[in-house]
Amino acid sequence: MVELHSAHGYLLHQFLSPTSNQRTDQYGGSVENRARLVLEVVDAGIKEWGADRIGIRVSPIGSFQNVDNGPNEEADALYLIEQLGKRGIAYLHMSEPDWAGGEPYSDAFREKVRARFHGPIIGAGAYTPEKAEALIEKGLIDAVAFGRAYIANPDLVARLQRKAELNPQRAESFYGGGAEGYTDYPTL
């Protein structure tokens, strides 16, 4: 399985953004042109490994690392998601801006995504177990990727199964500096 990263201000996301992409050739301007590189990379992955082995992570709404999605972010996102859906890739992994203080996606937006992408949809962001369960029950997502919650709870699966309290996260230790924050969280 290969997950392409077209999110968080990295290269493929920069091509999608009308703010960072100032090109005047076939890769700039319209949403179709700005999405071209992403779709070419997806198509190359499909050719090499098959659509069932390709997933993609996107952050279609909000601003990440000074890369925003422009004034038509929802329409642009839905164009890309529809094109990805037509390719039958393995899954769509959507990172929400709420992990960095932004607004979570609305249910109305999630319904539009679901109408365009019929494969598994993975959510990521400031998910609590309750939020994850509610959105899965509504059929708006199929799974959740817990990143920071896993760092703070190496036994996250057991905690979720038992509905146990989660350890508080210590964000200041997430990105380096020895074992503190990686190996010292208590387990059940």
User: What are the tens digits of pLDDT across the range 21-71?
Assistant: 999 999 999 999 999 999 999 999 999 999 999 999 999 887 766 666 667
63, with CB counted inside 10 A (0-12, 13-18, 19+), is: middle
pTM, two decimal places: 0.91
Q: Just give the CATH number of 2-145.
A: 3.20.20.70
Q: Is 127 a catalytic residue?
A: no
Place of tokens 């999110």: 7
State how beta strands 67-68 and 63-64 pair: antiparallel
Q: Which of 10, 91, 105, 150 is catalytic?
A: 10
Residues of the chain with CATH 3.20.20.70: 2-145
Q: Decide: helix, strand or coil at residue 122.
A: strand
Residues 6 or more apart whose CB falls under 8 angstroms from that of 18 comprise 34, 69, 70, 71, 72, 76
Percent of the chain with pLDDT over 70: 95
Structure tokens belonging to residue 155: 């036994």
Structure tokens belonging to residue 72: 């038509």
Helix (H) or strand (E) holding 63: strand 63-64
